[in-house]
């Protein structure tokens, strides 16, 4: 039962499991975000959840950082990993329970529990499973002779990690297709007005827009650049204010928006705003 993203009164937050209380945090404030995660973990501990207890132990011992914790969203999580991956995790857990083991971290054993229970796992978890492939050379170490074999199985074994590698690539390709279809937008002043911004425009694939906070009467230079670059004027939006610019990005369903104004970036949906520093 992992931590999950949630919203409370329109603000982001975290809760433990699907039905727990949502603890809000201030968007863009990392300390506030960590505090919300701590409250969610405390909620998990209160109901006796194994994973919450394991994570808390890791935090107390200094072997686990809150920044390591993945955010889960059921709409963007997966449980189509092979049955063999579940069985591998179960085998590792059974050995640990019956004979004890000092191997691994709280994160690794929490992962084993997720897989053994057939729980949904996030894209971030899948990427972590895929990266565990770096330990493949230790997978044949017997459980009673070292940590290589038992932790390999805890993370899903051959079947689980091979699945994660394929799945991670599939998700990346799917996201790329969605991004290309949804389009990318660029602010003008401080972004497209710079050589670095224009270079970024040229490297970016798919549909592209200019969305500026300038008023329409003051974008003659933008139109001149667009004419030279053969950019349709219908893909240029002069909104007149930052609030209107944010609204336009949302209205168009833009997947990425580059802006040099951090407040604009913060106010956009998670993952959309990209701060441009030139």
Strand order in the sheet with 236-238: 236-238, 208-212, 184-186, 256-259, 273-275
Choose among 57, 52, 27, 28: nearest CA to 40: 52
Percent of the chain with pLDDT over 90: 54
Angle between helices 83-99 and 157-182 (to 10 degrees): 130
The residues, any chain, with a CB within 8 Å of residue 30's CB and separated by 6 or more, are: none
Extended beta strands in 117-168, E state: 121-122
pLDDT of residue 74: 43
Query: What is the DSSP secondary structure assignment for residue 217, as one 8-state letter?
Result: G
Write out the two tokens for 256.
């990425």
- 99-108, 169-178, 225-234: lowest mean pLDDT where? 169-178
Share of the chain above pLDDT 70, in %: 86
The pTM is what?
A: 0.52
Closest to 209 (Cα-Cα) out of 183, 178, 245: 183
DSSP 28-57: T-HHHHHHHHHHHHHHHHHTT-HHHHHHHH
Q: pLDDT, tens digit, for every residue of 57-84?
A: 666 666 555 554 555 444 467 889 999 9
The answer to whether residue 90 scores a pLDDT higher than 50 is yes
Which has the closest alpha carbon to 189: 242, 139, 110, 145? 242
Sign of the alpha-carbon torsion through 135, 140, 146, 149? positive
- Give tens-digit pLDDT for 17-54: 766 788 888 877 788 888 888 888 888 777 777 666 66
Site of tokens 């091979």: 162
| The pLDDT of residue 44 | 78
Q: Quick check: helix, strand or coil at residue 156?
A: coil
pLDDT for position 92:
96
Nearest to 156 by CA among 168, 144, 172: 168
Task: Check: CB of residue 136 under 8 Å from CB of residue 174.
Answer: no
**Calpha distance 162→78 (Å, rounded):** 15
The answer to whether 39 and 2 are in contact (CB under 8 A) is no
Structure tokens at 55: 């994570």
Where do the structural domains in the chain lie, given as residue ranges?
3-71, 75-179, 183-275
pLDDT digits (tens, 9 = 90+) for 12-22: 788 887 667 88
- 10 Å CB burial of residue 154 (0-12, 13-18, 19+) is buried
Under DSSP, the state recorded for 72 is B
Q: For residue 34, give the nearest of 64, 74, 73, 1 by alpha carbon.
A: 64
Distances (CA, A) of 20 to 23, 44, 108, 132, 276: 9, 9, 24, 31, 37
Q: Are strands 3-8 and 11-16 parallel, antiparallel or unpaired?
A: antiparallel
**pLDDT beyond 80 at 133:** yes
pLDDT, tens digit, 9 for 90 and up, residues 173-230:
877 776 667 789 999 999 999 999 999 999 888 889 999 999 999 999 999 999 999 9
């Amino acid at each position: 039962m992992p931590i999950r993203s949630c919203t409370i009164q329109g603000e982001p937050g975290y809760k433990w499991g699907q039905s727990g209380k949502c603890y809000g945090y201030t968007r863009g404030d990392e300390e506030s975000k960590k505090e919300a995660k701590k409250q969610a973990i405390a909620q998990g501990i209160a109901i006796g959840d194994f994973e919450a207890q394991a994570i808390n132990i890791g935090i107390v011992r200094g072997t686990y950082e809150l920044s390591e914790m993945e955010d889960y969203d059921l709409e963007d999580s997966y449980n189509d990993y092979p049955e063999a991956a579940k069985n591998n995790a179960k085998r590792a857990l059974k050995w640990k329970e019956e004979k004890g083991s000092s191997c691994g971290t709280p994160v690794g054993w929490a992962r084993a529990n997720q897989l053994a229970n057939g729980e949904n796992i996030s894209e971030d978890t899948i990427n972590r499973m895929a990266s565990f492939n770096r330990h493949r050379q230790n997978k044949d170490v017997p459980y009673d002779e070292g940590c290589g074999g038992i932790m390999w199985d805890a993370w899903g074994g051959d079947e689980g990690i091979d699945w994660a590698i394929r799945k991670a690539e599939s998700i990346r390709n799917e996201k790329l297709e969605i991004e290309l279809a949804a389009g990318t937008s660029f602010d003008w002043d401080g972004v497209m007005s710079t050589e670095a911004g224009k270079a970024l425009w040229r490297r970016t694939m798919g549909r592209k827009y200019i969305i500026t906070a300038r008023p329409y009467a003051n974008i003659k230079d933008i139109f001149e650049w667009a004419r030279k670059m053969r950019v349709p004027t219908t893909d240029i939006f002069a909104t007149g204010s930052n609030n209107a610019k944010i609204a336009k990005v949302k209205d168009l369903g833009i997947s990425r928006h580059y802006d040099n104004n951090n407040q604009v970036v913060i106010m956009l949906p998670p993952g959309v705003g990209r701060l441009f520093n030139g």
